[in-house]
Structure 1
Amino acid sequence: MSEPYILVLYYSRHGSTSEMARHIARGVEMAGMEARLRTVPAISTECEAVAPDIPASGALYATLDDLRHCAGLAMGSPTRFGNMAAPLKYFLDGTSSLWLGGELVGKPAAVFTSTASLHGGQETTLLSMLLPLMHHGMLVTGLPYSESALLDTRGGGTPYGASHHAGADGKRELDQHEITLCRALGQRLANTAKALGGQRG
């Protein structure tokens, strides 16, 4: 059996969420676990995939097996009207077979998001992503206030998960507090997975 890994699953439109994913993956690795970066394809308004089978660059598309065999999950999305983006929701809607088999029950999960505006629904988006994970029986891993960056941040950062204020043009880079919180979330998730045995399905 191969080594346990944390799946860092995300959808990113302009790059901010994928940058957060890389920092979360770095935190996972700092805690001594493998991080597996995966994304989901864009979809059309008719809810059909509109992307090639293999992305031209960046992370590969996630499969149900990536999710089935992970020791823990970090899931990220840009904010869309206070909710997760449709491509990520579309992927999650296809995980019924994992739910029926209870294959994610007891695994730790964490969430992250990026918004254009400072008050653009970061917390509601994080909570919207947690709902299907709780239906899968996953264990929520947030960010405690023992993380001092959570008290000092002027951009993103919540106890529900990591967040980033990308600006109206989506080009504002992560600040040091946001990076610190992303890495802390990755470390916390990996350490929780290890404490739970880090077993894969």
Structure 2
Amino acid sequence: MKKKKVPSMVKDQQLIKKRREQMIKAAVTLFKEKGFHRTTTREIAKESGFSIGTLYEYIGSKEDILYLVCDAIYDEVSEKLKKRLTQDVEGIESLKSAIAALFKVIDDLQDEVLVMYQESKSLPKEALGYVLQKEMDMTAMIEQIIQECVKQGHLALADEEVKLAADNILVQAHMWTFRRWQVQKNYTLDQYIELQTKLLLDGLLKK
């Protein structure tokens, strides 16, 4: 799935990057408050610090802004996760470390993740396919760690179980954001990581 090409009347790549970063930050704030459909491009331009005319020099439509938001968030989550994944641990400890890393990254970017999942359904089909592929790529990072634990004999899982286990881990990470009104009232992040890791691994470890 190819990256969507967002039109721009400006040729300076550094300026495009700077202006689009401003748009993304502004859009996340507004989409969180009002949702994608109730937010206007004029409001995004104002929140970004420039005129509506300037905004349209860097994008072609409001859907382009939503695409840029989702694309940027996935990239940031993936990059932060890669940096947090440690190579200093082996075996089942590597999976525990990966779970903690993922949960901490989601905590760092919880507003962005919430907006992305709430609003990505409004993307055009082609752009949505590209964004969903990034989700699959991120899940694959967790899958690879689980698969390594299987190879080392720490887990006894079939291939389809590995995939589902990775999905379960991702869902539990997102729950910290999606149900934060309830979950974060009852647990600190460290408590949540500890309890969820225990629950997840209890169902995976070889008996």
User: Could you state the TM-score of these two structures normalised by the residue count of structure 2?
Assistant: 0.28
The normalised TM-score by structure 1 is: 0.28
Structure ranking higher on relative contact order (CA contacts 8 Å, 6+ apart): 1
Larger helix percent: 2
